[in-house]
């Protein structure tokens, strides 16, 4: 790491500590130039038709987290009636896999065309007061060439609000020509994602108490869910089960009694993500790494009810209680 990269990294950390420290105080908005612009500008009555909105996928986070950032940017661009500017994901492989930016205006191109960036304060999407402040800041720049960039990790709870757009982008991407799927198309392929690690700030946290409280589900939970699915799904095709986890295969020996089980622990994260998307039925964990593929999956999704994002209220989404019990009648209705 050279000196400029080191300085940038230190500034970045200090800034986010300052944001965290002041977020719930009256002085917080005053940290932002965009807020000062709003305070010192005359109120504009013109619709903002020149500006863009964007959100940066957090380069220090996992891909599920990065997708949450991108989706939030795409959603809030629509909510604030702005055009969307695409910022790439952390690696070229993820960028190519999703193809989300193929038909979008790129932030770098806008900057080359004399657009300037302005960061916006964090806001609570459920607070009318905070949302109205963001709208007022945006309106104060009407007629200017500005790209509003969301503060890092601006939260958007109902990520499924963009589900049709991201499915279209993913399925129409040029990358689909190169997809290599292991599943036998003559079988009904069930994918199970079992979360066994948590990545925070590029560090892998294994089974610590804080991570467990929010993210951990035991083997008993997954086995109970899988048992209900296999016993109640009415299909003529043979069932194949694919288990995706950083855990070792011998940790899941009990799963083998439910049929043809394939352990995919040696598959890289890119192919794992793609296989979760392409499963006929996906059993997710409390993890963005399986929640995001579920948004792109056209099959049946069986998901833990208690999660930090919400789910669509459609028949292809079946929610599971913490004790592993699901509504069998819903499963029978859609197969």
Consecutive H or E run containing 213: helix 209-215
* Total residue count of the chain as it appears in this document: 335
Q: Is residue 2 part of a domain?
A: no
What sign results for the dihedral spanned by CA atoms 307, 313, 316, 319? positive
Pairing state of beta strands 188-194 and 239-245? Answer: parallel
pLDDT (0 to 100) of residue 90: 93
Distance from CA of residue 160 to its chain's centroid?
10
67 domain-assigned: yes
Instruction: Give a yes or no: residue 224 inside a domain.
Output: yes
**Which residues partner with 318 through β-bridges?**
302
Count of CB atoms within 10 A of residue 214's CB? 11
Distance of alpha carbon 6 from alpha carbon 283, whole angstroms: 41
Tokens encoding 178: 């190169």
pLDDT at residue 25, as a whole number: 96
Residues 168 and 204 in one domain: no
Write a three-state SS string for 53-93. Answer: EECCCCCCCCHHHHHHHHHHHHHHHHHCCCEEEECCCCCHH
Residues whose CB falls within 8 Å of the CB of residue 88, separated by 6 or more in sequence, listed in order: 57, 95, 101, 106
∠ at Cα 108 (103, 109), nearest 5°? 60
Q: Residue 150 carries which DSSP code?
A: E
Give the predicted TM-score (pTM) of the model: 0.91
Q: How far apart are the first and last CA of the chain?
A: 54
Domain assignment present for 294: yes
Q: Let me know whether 39 and 166 are in one domain.
A: yes
Q: Which residues pair with 119 in a beta bridge?
A: 149
Q: What is the 8-class DSSP label of residue 279?
A: -
What is the reported pLDDT for 157? 96
Is the residue at 149 inside a domain? yes
What's the domain range around 121?
A: 32-177
Burial degree of 45 (CB within 10 A; 0-12, 13-18, 19+)? exposed
* Closest to 304 in 3D by CA, of 249, 240, 188, 290: 290
| Residue 8 lies inside a defined structural domain of this protein | no
Residue 136 and residue 225 in one domain: no
Q: How many domains does the chain have?
A: 2
* Domain end call among 157, 177, 197: 177
The radius of gyration of the chain's CA atoms, rounded to the nearest angstrom, is 22
220 and 322 belong to one structural domain: yes
**Residue at 115 is within a domain:** yes
Give pLDDT tens digits along the chain (335 positions). 566 666 778 888 899 999 999 999 999 999 999 999 999 987 666 677 889 999 999 998 999 999 999 999 999 999 999 999 999 999 999 999 999 999 999 999 999 999 999 999 999 999 999 999 999 999 999 999 999 999 999 999 999 999 999 999 999 999 999 999 999 999 999 999 997 665 444 444 444 455 555 566 888 899 999 999 999 988 889 999 999 988 788 788 888 888 889 999 889 999 999 999 999 999 999 999 999 999 999 999 999 999 989 999 999 999 999 899 998 888 877 76
Last residue of a domain, one of 116, 151, 177: 177
Residues 184, 170 within the same domain: no
């Amino acid at each position: 790491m050279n000196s400029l990269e080191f300085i940038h990294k230190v500034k970045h950390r200090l800034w986010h500590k300052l944001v965290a420290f002041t977020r719930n105080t009256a002085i917080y908005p005053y940290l932002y130039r965009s807020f000062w612009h709003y305070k010192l500008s005359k109120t504009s009555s013109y619709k903002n038709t020149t500006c863009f909105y964007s959100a940066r996928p957090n380069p220090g986070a996992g891909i599920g987290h990065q997708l949450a950032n991108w989706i939030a940017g795409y959603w809030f661009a629509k909510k604030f009636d702005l055009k969307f500017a695409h910022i790439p994901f952390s690696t070229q492989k993820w960028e190519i896999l999703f193809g989300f930016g193929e038909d979008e205006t790129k932030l770098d191109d806008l900057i080359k065309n004399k657009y300037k960036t302005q960061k916006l304060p964090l806001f609570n999407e459920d607070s009318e007061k905070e949302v109205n402040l963001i709208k007022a800041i945006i309106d104060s720049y009407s007629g200017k060439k500005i790209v509003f960039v969301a503060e890092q990790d601006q939260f958007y709870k109902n990520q499924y609000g963009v589900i049709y757009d991201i499915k279209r982008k993913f399925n129409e991407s040029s990358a689909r020509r190169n997809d290599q799927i292991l599943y036998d198309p003559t079988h009904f392929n069930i994918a199970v994602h079992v979360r066994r690690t948590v990545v925070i700030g590029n560090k892998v946290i294994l089974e610590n108490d804080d991570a467990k409280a929010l993210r951990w589900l035991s083997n008993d939970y997954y086995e109970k869910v899988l048992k209900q699915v296999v016993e109640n799904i009415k299909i003529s095709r043979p069932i194949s089960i694919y288990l995706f986890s950083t855990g070792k295969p011998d940790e899941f020996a009990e799963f083998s009694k439910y049929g043809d089980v394939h352990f995919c622990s040696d598959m890289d994260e890119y192919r794992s993500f793609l296989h979760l998307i392409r499963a006929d039925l996906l059993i997710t964990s409390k993890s963005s790494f399986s929640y995001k593929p579920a948004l792109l999956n056209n099959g049946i999704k069986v998901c833990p009810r208690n999660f930090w994002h919400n789910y669509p209220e459609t028949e292809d989404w079946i929610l599971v209680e913490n004790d592993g019990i699901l509504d069998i009648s819903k499963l029978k209705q859609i197969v």
